Amino acid sequence: MPSAPCFLLFASPRMSLTAVDLTIIVLYFCLVLGLGAYLRRFTNTGDEFFMAGREMTAWIAGLSFISANLGSLEMMGYAAATYQYGILVAHAYWIGAIPAILFLALVMMPFYYICKTHSVPGYLKLRYGEGARSLSAISFAVMTILMSGINMYSMAIIMKVILGWDIHFSIWVSSLTVALYVMAGGLLSAIFNEVLQFFLIWIGCLVIPVVGLIETGGWAGMIHRIQTNFPGQDFIHMWRTTSSFTGNPMGVHWTGIVFGWGLAISFGYWTTDFLVVQRVMAAKNLRSAKLGTVIGAFFKMIVPVIVILPGLLALAVLPFHLVPESQAGLPNVHTYNEALPLMLARYCGPGLLGLGVTALVAGFMSGMAGNVTAFTTVWTYDIYKPFIRKAATDAHYVSVGRWCSLIGVFISIGTAYLVMNFSSIIVYAQVIFVFFIVPMFGTVILGMLWKRTTPAAGFWGLLAGILTSFGLWAWIKIDPGALQYVAFSSHAKDMAENVYRAMWSLLVNVVVTFAVSLVTRPKPEHELKGLVYGLTEVPAEGDFPFFRRPITWAIVVAVGFIALNIIFW
Amino acid sequence: MEQRSISVWFFIGLLLTIYGLLILATGVHELLVPPITQVAMAHLHIGIWWGAGMLIFGLVYLIRFRPKRNVTN
């Protein structure tokens, strides 16, 4: 067990990197740039640059799918949120992800894959027409750029806290590296780097839970320390405290978790956010696309080990209490967002610190490359091609894509400073996300499953959902008392408010889409083949043994998901 | 698409092998010459274990996915 004076060594979180740490970081940058340069020669056509040639295996598509989601925002934000709200945050990884990812794999992926579209807005064009496509493409482009800025801010904090590096230096060096390898190899380069980053993130961050649990004497020891440090607060139950709004640190009721988080936010993100869906759409066949998605679900289920557990360990072992971002700048205080970097600095000596910093930089890069490649594809195929230059050569669109990667990075650098005014990074991400992505789920799923949904309904339903989300957010900003109507409780915290706003947004989207469909003319059935359930012939997966079928592994993941919820009830 | 000759898993093996060597060597050096300021739980010498694990993992990937003709992904 550690002696007490060890803690004092970390009164200041800033640490100096040794030559070994710097070598590890520089090697990583060299490899990602080298990989981009190597893959440049394999991305000459539009399909190769924007869809990685549609030849990824299930493992590569699956690891890339989950890595694009595992940005530094994800890692730092959820570790910070865990420090703030406790293990409740793990709902984001379990009920807030697993059902939706499995639904994407088994139900929605065939439609995305069969219609051979380049993007989710591209599917909306085929299903509903230009109106819904334009609205979703523009809103998605805005969202990805803003999210990219959040990722940059996260990474700059890491560098500031751990190393004392200048924020601008960190942002520019990492961003331009991403721009260079995405410009060179497009989605192919992004996917390959994401697989590499996946390994680095896990190996670099796993040190914290392993050493942390040894320090606390295991899970029971950690719980005991948390209860000693924060008496009277329940940070360690996922469902038991959610029968009332005031029984848990987040101020959320189980209905919000199930319908807001588990349905609206989760299905919105995992089934219609093109950033992640693009990775599995690049698989070499439908079986690989489905299996890759299930592989992604498995790894998503165990991500809490490197994100939630460090947050809990911070509650248990840090000798001081972290404070909200609004109190940043006060002397001798550290904010929630510094939870993960502080834990890294606590346990990692020379070499391992370089690896940990590389893991966080890799997280930043994978998240940013995900945003940049998705933005590039949507801009080129769903905005530039239909509205600016309809008939050009394939080589021209590839060239536009390459330049768009660079321009996208520059615009997102400009948005990085917007995040300073919000109390927690992840809350800001959810604000944007609920505006744009949640309503899209209702539009896509009704279009896939109900042939009566009309083009007009697709557009107006999506618009109504976006306006509802924005309107509710503005209402609470103007009149904080509105919180009790939107989130059913005046005790709701930021994250709980987002959860309920997502629920309302999806509800309005579905009701408007349904109502408008009843009074407008649907598309003829022959135009819906390959796009709608009941009118689409899904190709057979082939004669594979049961252990190579996506459905088998989907059941395994589903059983694991149920077991985890019971264990941590 | 032109056929790729180097698998992405090879690159992963290469990086982990180099990292494993560096971290293992640093861990051994710290064991022999303890630094003045130490991290929490320094007595575990986690760098040695972590570096050795990465080295083995990296070597397996490096050998298993070494460049051959007509390999994709």
Asked if CATH classification 1.10.10.60 holds for the domain at A71-421, the reply, yes or no, is no
Provide, as residue numbers in chain B, all residues whose Cβ is less than 8 Å from the Cβ of A2: 40-41
CA angle, corner B65, sides to A303 and A358, nearest 5? 40
Distance CA A489, CA A248 (A): 13
Provide, as residue numbers in chain B, all residues whose Cβ is less than 8 Å from the Cβ of A214: 41, 44
Model pLDDT for residues A467-505, shown as the tens digit of each residue: 998 899 889 888 888 888 888 877 777 777 888 888 899
CB contact (8 A) between residue A56 and residue B72: no
Tell me the whole-structure pTM to 2 decimals.
0.86
Provide CB contacts within 8 A for A507, sequence distance 6+: none
Lowest mean pLDDT among A377-391, A392-406, A453-467, A483-497: A483-497
CB contact (8 A) between residue A211 and residue B23: no
Assess whether pLDDT exceeds 60 at residue A384. Answer: yes
Q: Which residues are paired to A335 by β-bridges?
A: A323
CB A76 within 8 A of CB A340: yes
Q: Which site among B11, B37, B45 would you substitute to test the A interface, given the most A Cβ atoms closer than 10 Å to its Cβ?
A: B11
CB contact (8 A) between residue A24 and residue B22: yes
Assess whether pLDDT exceeds 60 at residue B72. Answer: no
How many CA atoms does the CB half-sphere of B25 hold within 13 Å?
A: 10
CB contact (8 A) between residue B40 and residue A215: yes
CB B56 within 8 A of CB A362: no
CB A439 within 8 A of CB A509: yes
| pLDDT the model gives residue A46 | 85
ipTM, two decimals = 0.91
Residue A349 has its nearest CB partner, among B2, B16, B42, at B42
Comparing alpha-carbon positions, the chain B residue that sits nearest to A210 is B46
Distance CA A182, CA A252 (A): 40
Provide, as residue numbers in chain A, all residues whose Cβ is less than 8 Å from the Cβ of B1: 42, 45, 48, 53, 55
Task: Looking at the complex, report in whole angstroms how far the Cα of residue B68 sits from the nearest Cα belonging to chain A.
Answer: 16
Provide, as residue numbers in chain A, all residues whose Cβ is less than 8 Å from the Cβ of B46: 207, 210-211, 347, 349, 352
Tokens 């080129």, located at residue: A380
CB contact (8 A) between residue A346 and residue B39: yes
Q: Where are the beta strands (DSSP E) in A244-378?
A: none
Render the burial of B16-53: b for 16+ CB within 10 Å, e for the rest: bbbbbbbbbbbbebbeeeeeeeebbbbebbbbbebbbe
Task: Give the number of other Cβ atoms within 10 Å of residue A521's Cβ.
Answer: 9
Model pLDDT for residues B15-71, shown as the tens digit of each residue: 999 999 999 999 999 999 888 888 888 889 899 999 999 999 999 999 999 887 655
Render the burial of A67-93: b for 16+ CB within 10 Å, e for the rest: bbbbbbbbbbbbbbbbbbbbbbbbbbb
Distance CA A417, CA A150 (A): 8
Share of chain A above pLDDT 70, in %: 93
Residue B19 has its nearest CB partner, among A24, A215, A317, at A24
DSSP-assigned letters across all residues of A289-306: HHHHHHHHHHHHHHTHHH
Q: Considering only CB atoms, which residues of chain A are within 8 Å of chain B?
A: 2, 6-7, 9-10, 18, 20, 23-24, 27-28, 31, 35, 38-39, 41-42, 45, 48, 53, 55-57, 60, 192, 195-196, 199-200, 203, 207, 210-211, 214-215, 317, 345-352, 355
Closest to A194 measured CA to CA, from A378, A67, A288: A67
Report residue A448 as tokens: 């896939």
Q: Which residues are paired to A56 by β-bridges?
A: A283
Model pLDDT for residues A180-205, shown as the tens digit of each residue: 888 888 888 888 888 888 898 899 88
Domain boundaries of chain A, sorted by first residue: 71-421
Tokens 């590389």, located at residue: A358
CB A503 within 8 A of CB A430: no
Distance CA A569, CA A549 (A): 31
Judge residue A27's burial from the number of C-beta atoms within 10 Å of its C-beta, 0-12 exposed, 13-18 middle, 19 or more buried. Answer: middle
